[in-house]
A = this chain, B = another copy of it.
Amino acid sequence: MKKWLDNFKNMRFLSRFADLIGLLKICQNLHFDTSKPFSRPTEYTTTKTIRKQCTNLLLQPATEVRSWLNLFKTIIADGEGVLWIYDKPIPGAIDALNQLKASGKQIYVCTNNSTQTRQQHAFKAERLGLNIRENEVLCTAHATAQYLKDLEFLKYAYVIGAEALTTELDAAGIVLHNDSGPDIMHETVEKFATEFRKEANVGAVIVGYDTHFSFCKLAKAVTYLKNPNCLFLATNVDASSYTGDMVLPGTGSFVAAIEYCTGRKAFVIGKPSANMCTRYIQNGLIQPANTLMIGDNYQTDMPFGHNLGFQTLLVGTGTHTWSDVLHLKKLNGNLAKHLMPDAYIPKLADLNYFLPR
């Protein structure tokens, strides 16, 4: 046991060293992007003006914007901050996406929110007026379950997450897992550790958004992750969200705690990782060259689109604004290329100016 832990601590040091080497390599190449699962054309098929410049569409000739929009057969839109904020639709945004669909484009909603099943996301979108079916929702709880299903995973999964995550696991036939909900320290940590009965054959630790995240959950996760064959999956690594005056920790902060403790890196399903889309691309349902990713966050949505070879459009109704991106560009130039949207529009409703009615 002790010997194992010694190895474990060596691994942590090596992991940090590997991180350093990784960063150096990235810097030598003058960009941060290390994973490009799908190739990106070196010369875009768009006009010169709309090309990794965060071009404000409202300042472009309407004909140019229309011909740019005509390039796309598929539109993938983030939900939160683009179409709605919590349960409130952003005025005109859903109508614009419906218009794009009515004009013949395939639309998808793509969200890192792991607290709802794919069905629940679809219900919500429909309730708010979006013309969408369940298989047009790309979401992390469903994608995580599908990822394990594709691996023919039959072991036990230890889950930090909401009920939606375990529901999606069940639906994918992964039925050996703990329930969601509170797991709190009732007495001393010694008693907790003594009484803890490890589940047999734990093959994955899955970390999603969990408002019951606790010391006990963290301890169980890192204990299972001692086994190097136990998968370590994160639905997403968003840092935070906020409600009113309160900052709420994101799934990424739980993941950071586990990564620090174990010296292991999570395999991330959600944006900016490509995993929510890979199946659709492999099946030919999404063709990167004619796909547009619309998002409100240059740290998740834009690199997600960039890595997959999509073009990207930032809307200013959520996390980041045009000035944020221009500021980033000024500070970092080429270093931030993968974060840089091709185009910008203050709100999705503004697209209505360019759409046939």
A residues with CB within 8 A of B: 1, 5-6, 9-10, 12-14, 17, 20, 23-24, 27, 182, 184-185, 188-190, 192-194, 196, 198, 210-215, 218-219, 222-223, 226, 239-240, 242-250, 252-263, 299, 319-321, 324, 327-328, 331-332, 335
Contact = CB atoms under 8 A, between A and B. Distances in A.
A17 B332 contact: yes
28 contacts: A1-B245, A6-B319, A9-B319, A10-B328, A12-B239, A20-B23, A23-B23, A24-B24, A24-B27, A182-B185, A189-B243, A193-B246, A193-B248, A194-B244, A196-B246, A213-B215, A215-B249, A219-B246, A219-B247, A222-B240, A223-B247, A239-B263, A247-B261, A252-B260, A253-B261, A256-B257, A256-B259, A256-B261
A210 B219 contact: no
Given A6-B324, A24-B27, A213-B218, A198 B257 contact: no
A254 B223 CA distance: 16
Contacts of A198: 245
Nearest to A196: B246
Contact of A9 (B218, B254, B299): B299
A77 to B, nearest CB: 20
A223 B253 CA distance: 14
Contact of A261 (B196, B249, B324): B249
Copies of this chain in its oligomeric complex: 2
A130 to B, nearest CB: 23
A258 B253 contact: yes
Name which of A9, A250, A327, A335 has the most chain B CB atoms within 10 A of its CB.
A9
A262 B253 CA distance: 9
Contacts of A252: 260-261
Given A211-B215, A222-B240, A261-B253, A320 B246 contact: no
B243 A190 contact: yes
Contacts of A244: 193-194
Given A253-B260, A256-B259, 9 more contacts: A9-B320, A24-B27, A184-B212, A213-B215, A219-B248, A222-B248, A223-B245, A226-B247, A250-B261
Nearest to A246: B193
Nearest to A216: B211
A262 B252 CA distance: 11
Given A198-B245, A223-B247, A240-B261, A327 B10 contact: yes
A197 to B, nearest CB: 10
Given A23-B20, A244-B194, A218 B249 contact: yes
Contact of A257 (B10, B12, B194, B254): B254
A84 to B, nearest CB: 15
